[in-house]
Structure 1
Amino acid sequence: MPVSIRDGRPVWQRRTPARQWAIWAAWLALVVLTVYCWQVMNRGTIWAFVEDAPQQAADLLSRSWPPAWHYLDRLWWPLWDTVNIATLGTLLGIVFAVPVAFLAASNTSPSTAILRPLALFIIVASRSINSLIWALLLVAIIGPGLLAGIMAIALRSIGFIGKLLYEAIEEIDPAQVEAVSATGASRLQVMDYAVVPQILPAFSGISVFRWDINIRESTILGLVGAGGIGVQLESSLARLAWSEVTVIFAVILVTVIVSEWVSAKVRQAFI
């Protein structure tokens, strides 16, 4: 800790003058950056619309109430499709993410020069593209429907599950691996008896957590033609049927709450 002399006595200081000036300079730079970002954000803003926003919001809410509860009968099947999109997409993502994770982990990859960078690239590519963008691409390639939604969820899940899983693999206890290897076990047996048991709780939690996220993401894929309850939402929005939109939002909210509860219970059971 720096010391300065004042009236012939040493005085303890928290920071040196140079460090204190550096901190003030950093704060000044942050203020300048904030002002600049605010200007960029307001460059295309039409403030007349912003001033009228409270009235427009009130008008929209008045048209959204009361909810058209009779519309529920048309939502059960699309809701079931949404759950299936999330579930099948998660399972398909797991199938591809597990081998990618083992190839990406430095302690299990058979080739750290070629296969590991390739696996890491797949993980980064998957995580860098949102599920909605994947759905847009797949709808253009294979056409609208549930298959496009399932594939979009799967492609997005590969990066999420693969990243967290390969990090869990790299954090395993190497002593257990060495103990099994010392018995003369093959590489596959070492994986089976020393690596998999250590990562199984993490793998279960990651998979269920991703399924929970996919439930939410699959609700909007229908906006681009990838099936599910999003198709009904897009139809109601196009017809300005705000009372139906309210019902759809309520159904989505209840579905997400239930998926959160199921996810928490399953993670508690495995971890």
Structure 2
Amino acid sequence: MTQLNSSLTVWRKYDEKQTLLRWSAWLAFVALVVYAWQLMNQDTIWYFVTDAPNQISDIGSRMWPPRWSYLEHLWLPLWDTLNIATLGTLLGIVMAFPVAFLAAQNTTPSALFIRPIALFIIAASRSINSLIWALLLVAILGPGLLAGIIAIALRSIGFISKLMYEAIEEVNVTQVSAIRATGASPLQVLDYGVLPQVMPSFIGTSLFRWDINIRESTVLGLVGAGGIGLKLQESMAVLAWPQVTVIFCAILVTVVISEWISAKARHALI
């Protein structure tokens, strides 16, 4: 009969040092949350927070029933919104295409000079929201659709370029080397070796960005860049809540239709 050892070894996932580090990290996280909560509460007027349900009920009652007769005033702004999103996306695609090839390590002509510039353009485009671009462009170009189109384009450059240059860097090197071995020029290598591999990703990314731009272009009118957002601002300024309901419904239907079109186009083209 085997005598069991009284000092059994207990298995632990972490040793004492790792356990101490984990508890220290959790304590630091809790302290950060408490500090952030206190910082948030400094300028918070809790009377308005507790009164929010009453305000929501009051505004909701004013928004119903919708003023469906106002819908006839929204067709042109909706058309302008679609034009802002579509033309802005097309302009962004045109500008993003060369930026992506300049940013990719395997296609850039200069990894020390040109590639950092291209990466900076991508980062700058992605870090600034289209609403901020529109606010800046309205101050420069004046209110109107042109400011909205350019704002959408500038925002789209970073999104499309980043995904495309990552796709360029992941192309099949064997196919590119085979075309280069035939004596093809660098432009021919890009045309026959790289483009066929990245074009499906490029088309899918462009359609997805157009779908996103439909949503973003609906609010550009709030800063004077045209579209249905301008009607939304006008209705909210005069407290015409039944009209606001109709505008919300029109935006919702437009976004749903754009998502359906984008999904069908991706399945058809890719």
Question: Shared fold by TM > 0.5?
Answer: yes
SS in 2 for 1:58: helix
Report the 3-state secondary structure (helix = DSSP H, G, I; strand = E; otherwise coil) of the residue aligned with 1:110: coil
Q: Residue 253 of structure 1: SS of its match in structure 2?
A: helix
Tell me the alpha carbon deviations over residues 68-103 of structure 1, each in whole angstroms, 9 at most, x when there is no partner.
Answer: 000000001100000000000000000000000000
**SS of the counterpart of 1:108?**
coil
Q: Distance in 1 between matches of 2:88 and 2:254?
A: 17
> Which residues of structure 1 form unaligned runs of 5+?
1-5
Amino acid across the alignment from 1:190:
V
In the aligned structure 2, how far is the partner of 1:262 from the partner of 1:223?
A: 26
Per the TM alignment, residue 269 of structure 1 is displaced from its structure 2 partner at its CA by: 2.3
Q: What is the correspondence of 1:19-34 to structure 2 with a 5 Å cutoff? A: 19-34=18-33
* Residues 221-232 of structure 1: pairs in structure 2 closer than 5 A: 221-232=220-231
Q: For the residues of structure 1 that align with 2:260 and 2:23, how far apart are their CA atoms?
A: 46
Where do residues 181-192 of structure 1 align in structure 2 (5 Å cutoff)?
A: 181-192=180-191
Distance, in Å, in 2 between the alignment partners of 1:261 and 1:36 is 44
For the residues of structure 1 that align with 2:124 and 2:14, how far apart are their CA atoms? Answer: 43
- Cα distance, 1:7 vs structure 2: 3.5
Match in the other structure for 1:3: none
CA distance in 2, matches of 1:7, 1:131: 69
Structure 2: 5+ residue runs without aligned partners?
Answer: none
Q: Does 1:76 align with 2:75?
A: yes
Matched length: 266
CA distance in 1 between counterparts of 2:60 and 2:176 reads 61
Q: List per-residue Cα deviations over 1:159-191 (Å, max 9, x = no partner).
A: 111111111101111111101000000000000
SS in 2 for 1:137: helix
Instruction: Give TM-score, length-normalised by structure 2.
Output: 0.96
What is the rounded CA distance, in whole Å, between the counterparts of 1:221 and 1:169 in structure 2? 32
Partners of 1:198 and 1:24 lie apart in 2 by 48
4+ runs deviating over 3 angstroms: 6-11
Aligned partner letter, 2:110: S
Q: Counterparts of 1:126-205 in structure 2 under 5 Å?
A: 126-205=125-204
Alpha-carbon distance, 1:270 to partner: 3.0
- How does the TM-score come out when normalised to structure 1? 0.96
Deviation at 1:259, TM superposition (A): 1.0
User: Aligned partner of 2:221: which letter?
Assistant: G
